[in-house]
């Protein structure tokens, strides 16, 4: 065989070998592109799964939020199909006791920051969602002509207050002490609704309550405004509970309470801007 023919055969064999080696490389490249396509298709699903899932939420809330939170809950459920929000209302101190006892719940809204601060071991970061102020609620027609805080010191007037461990009771004591008004209440109630009920039913002549609660009584009581310089501002912080089994959904609800939609509902009900 001539050297020229041998050289040609060697060249052809080398070409075939190179082609054979190239096929797996191309196949591997094709496989890599296919994996990227799958990952790209999967990415939206991963993003979708990051959104809060529908859940049944239990929210512990201060008594003074009873009426407005019914509207808040309905609005939230409408905007988040599949999510159900159930509220449990009580005095903030009662709610705190429930949290410490491990009551199954997802979020908490109290009527003061002091109560919330005492639950840092059980809650995540809190944010104030609304504010409120106090008024004097008097009996229908205001028969004792109560005009200001110092009138409540009259022993002829039956005054009812919330207990001092209750936020509204603590605020009441704060403003009465600041004005040096000594009041001997006929009873001390566990929450603001109980105080208001006593006045509505005529079992008391006057009581210190939140403005938003008294406004709901219509003509059953007369509201006597307390000047800002003599008043106290109640803050309502909201937080998710660390023990919640619906952490993402609970966080979404608490965050929503600060949105324009939720704030409008709260302010339409008489609450002040957070």
Q: What digits encode the pLDDT tens for the residues 177-224?
A: 999 999 999 999 999 999 999 999 999 999 999 999 999 888 899 999
Between 254 and 15, residue with greater pLDDT: 254
Asked whether residue 215 falls in the same domain as residue 82, the answer is no
- Whether residues 125 and 245 share a domain: the answer is yes
86 and 146 inside one domain: no
Instruction: Note whether 167 and 242 are same-domain residues.
Output: no
Residue 41: predicted pLDDT: 36
In a domain, 70, yes or no: yes
Phi, psi of 209, rounded to the nearest 5 degrees: -140, 175
With respect to residue 274, please indicate whether it lies within any of the assigned structural domains: no
Q: Do 116 and 175 belong to one domain?
A: no
Flag whether 203 is in a domain.
Answer: yes
Give the pLDDT of residue 192.
Answer: 96
CATH number at residue 61: 3.40.190.10
pLDDT surpassing 70 at residue 113: yes
Same domain, 176 and 239: no
Distance CA 154, CA 10 (A): 120
Q: Would 181 be classed as within a structural domain?
A: yes
| Per-residue burial over 96-112, b = 16 or more CB atoms within 10 Å of its CB, e = otherwise | beebeeeeebbbbbbbb
In a domain, 245, yes or no: yes
Residue 174 is encoded by which pair of tokens?
Answer: 């704060």
Q: Which spans in the chain are helix H?
A: 3-50, 66-79, 92-100, 113-117, 167-178, 192-200, 211-215, 247-256, 260-268
How is residue 145 written in tokens? 């002509």
Please check whether residue 38 lies inside any domain of the structure.
Answer: no
Q: pTM value?
A: 0.79
The tokens describing 71, both together, are 């509207």
Question: Do residue 159 and residue 215 come from a single domain?
Answer: yes
Asked if residue 8 is part of any domain, the answer here is no
Q: Are strands 56-62 and 107-109 parallel, antiparallel or unpaired?
A: parallel
- 138 with 223, same domain? yes
How many domains does the chain fold into?
A: 2
19: pLDDT strictly greater than 90: no
pLDDT band at 244 (very low <50, low <70, confident <90, very high): very high
151 plus 213 within the same structural domain = yes
Helix, strand or coil for residue 64? helix
Give residue 52's pLDDT. Answer: 63
Whether 72 and 109 map to the same domain: the answer is yes
The residue range of the domain holding 223 is 133-233
**Is there a single domain that holds both residue 185 and residue 254?**
no
- Please report which confidence band the pLDDT of residue 54 belongs to, taking 50, 70 and 90 as the band edges: confident
Task: Give me the residue label for tokens 């005492």.
Answer: 118
Buried b (16+ CB within 10 A) or exposed e, 2-13: eeeeeeeeeeee
User: Is residue 41, in this structure, part of any structural domain at all?
Assistant: no
**Are 137 and 127 within one domain?**
no
């Amino acid at each position: 065989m001539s050297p020229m023919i041998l050289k040609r055969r060697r060249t052809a064999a080398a070409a075939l070998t190179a082609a054979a080696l190239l096929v797996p490389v191309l196949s591997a490249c094709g496989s890599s592109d296919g994996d990227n396509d799958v990952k790209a298709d999967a990415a939206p699903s991963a993003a979708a799964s990051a959104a809060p899932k529908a859940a049944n939420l239990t929210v512990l809330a201060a008594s003074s939020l009873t009426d407005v939170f019914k509207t808040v809950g309905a609005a939230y459920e409408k905007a988040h199909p599949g999510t159900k929000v159930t509220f449990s209302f009580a005095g903030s101190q009662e709610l705190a006791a429930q949290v410490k006892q491990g009551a199954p719940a997802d979020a908490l809204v109290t009527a003061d920051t002091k109560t919330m601060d005492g639950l840092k071991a059980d809650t995540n970061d809190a944010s104030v969602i609304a504010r409120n102020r106090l008024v004097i609620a008097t009996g229908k027609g205001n028969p004792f002509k109560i005009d200001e805080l110092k009138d409540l010191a009259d022993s002829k007037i039956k005054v009812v207050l919330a207990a001092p461990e209750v936020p509204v009771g603590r605020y009441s004591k704060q403003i009465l002490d600041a004005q040096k008004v000594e009041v001997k209440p006929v009873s001390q109630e566990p929450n603001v609704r109980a105080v208001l009920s006593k006045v509505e039913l005529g079992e008391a002549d006057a009581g210190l309550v939140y403005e938003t609660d008294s406004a709901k009584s219509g003509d059953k009581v007369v509201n006597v405004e307390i000047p800002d310089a003599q008043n106290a501002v109640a803050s309502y912080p909201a937080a998710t509970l660390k023990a919640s089994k619906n952490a993402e959904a609970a966080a979404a609800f608490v965050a929503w309470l600060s949105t324009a939609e939720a704030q409008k509902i709260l302010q339409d009900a008489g609450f002040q801007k957070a």
